[in-house]
Amino acid sequence: MADRITELSLEAVMGERFGRYSKYIIQERALPDIRDGLKPVQRRILFAMDQDGNTFDHPYRKSAKSVGNVMGNFHPHGDSSIYEAMVRLSQNWKVREPLIDMNGNNGSVDNDPAAAMRYTEARLSKIAGEMMTDLGQETVDMVLNFDDTTYEPTVLPSRVLSLFINGATGISAGYATEIPPHNLKRNKWCFNLFTRSSGSTFICINALC
């Protein structure tokens, strides 16, 4: 038994454990990915709804169904945090271009809470569909989900400059972000100014404007 006991200083243990925790919070929870402008829970919501066929060209579905799919397949955390993230993506006073089209009480600019998920309905917005268009063409890496039963993307192959259009807010361990939203047409103008190629992002922005 004595040979299995290792003496370590509290400073070394706390530094190593907190370092691992901080890395997880920074990369997997609190801050958006610069490539698609989404936090992991937001990405999983959009991906799960897309896989379920809950898109802008189909009828609304109960929010509770989408939350259950996300929690059961990709995001094993509380249903309230998933629903709150879904509601935020639908509020046009918090994001410039909502990625979720919600039918029902999704809160107010006065910070009133949204109705319970069993009452509201939701589907992907049209602009969110543009973030999923190339998923089936092996454009991004796919990794196993938490219980190794299915795959999820590490990032969405977004044709939309979501990070600039909708902005982002997040507080992590030692890091924080506060990016304001920007007008879609201004983004198009800036992208046209700095990029002269005919890439897919440029084409998509022109189509959306």
Supply the residues annotated as catalytic: 119
What is the number of other CB atoms lying within 10 angstroms of the CB of residue 116? 12
**DSSP letter assigned to residue 10:** H
Mention every residue, 6+ apart, whose C-beta is less than 8 A from residue 145. 73, 74, 151, 152
Instruction: Name which of 155, 152, 154, 135 is nearest 73 in CA terms.
Output: 152
Closest CA relative to residue 45, chosen from 79, 16, 17, 14: 79
Q: Give the DSSP letter string of 57-83.
A: TS--EEHHHHHHHHHHHT--S-HHHHH
Q: How many CB atoms lie within 10 A of CB 87?
A: 22
Task: Please check whether residue 161 is in contact with residue 201, taking contact to mean a CB–CB distance below 8 angstroms.
Answer: yes
- Among candidate residues 209, 95, 100, 106, the one with its CA nearest the CA of residue 163: 95
> From CA 25, how far away is CA 63, in angstroms rounded?
26
